[in-house]
């Protein structure tokens, strides 16, 4: 099963370059990456073509990260679509650690979620 990594960084220039260079040096292809920062802290959320090597790069580089199963979900592509699924996850006690936008088709948007409790989240995300 595909994994998703949420990597915590200091919010300063060069963090994305450092992470991408370390992954590239180990031959890891990034499949999707997103992220953001506010204040002194930032994060990157990513999926890779080689999770085992990506994990080794993160460990060897001393990166702080969360790793979890990447769960795909289709969401109504209209106002309130994400709100509904986020509320269902919250009401089930599931914490969303990160999500990546994958694509949009017709009236549906596809996201890859990484959560703290995949077993509890799976029935919610899969019935979309």
Q: Number of structural domains, the chain? A: 2
What stretches of 22-107 adopt beta strand conformation (E)? Answer: 30-38, 41-48, 64-69, 71-76, 96-105
**7 in Cβ contact with 64 (< 8 Å):** yes
Q: What strands lie across the sheet with 64-69, from one edge to the other?
A: 30-38, 41-48, 3-10, 64-69
Are residues 84 and 106 located together in one domain of the fold? yes
Domain boundary, last residue among 48, 68, 88? 68
* Interior angle at CA 66, CA 61 and CA 68, nearest 5: 125
Task: Look up the CATH number of the domain holding residue 122.
Answer: 3.30.70.260
pLDDT one digit per residue (tens) for the chain, 128 residues: 589 999 999 999 999 999 999 999 999 999 999 999 999 999 999 999 999 999 999 999 999 999 999 999 999 889 999 999 999 999 999 999 999 998 898 889 999 999 999 999 999 998 75
Domain boundary, last residue among 68, 91, 106? 68
Are residues 101 and 121 located together in one domain of the fold? yes
The pLDDT of residue 90: 97
Structural domain harbouring 120 = 71-126
What is the distance between the alpha carbons of residues 34 and 14, in angstroms, rounded to a whole number? 15
The pLDDT of residue 1: 57
The pLDDT of residue 57: 98
């Amino acid at each position: 099963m595909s994994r998703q990594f949420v990597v915590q960084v200091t919010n300063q220039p060069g963090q994305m370059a450092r992470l991408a260079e370390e992954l590239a040096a180990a031959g890891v292809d990034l499949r999707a990456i997103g992220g953001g920062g506010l204040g002194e802290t930032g994060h990157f959320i990513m999926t890779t073509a080689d999770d085992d090597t990506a994990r080794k790069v993160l460990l060897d580089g001393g990166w702080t990260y969360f790793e979890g199963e990447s769960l795909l979900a289709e969401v109504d592509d209209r106002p309130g679509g994400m709100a509904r699924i986020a509320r269902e996850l919250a009401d089930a006690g599931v914490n969303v650690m990160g999500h990546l936008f994958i694509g949009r088709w017709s009236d549906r948007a596809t996201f890859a979620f990484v959560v703290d409790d995949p077993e509890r989240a799976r029935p919610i995300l899969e019935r979309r």
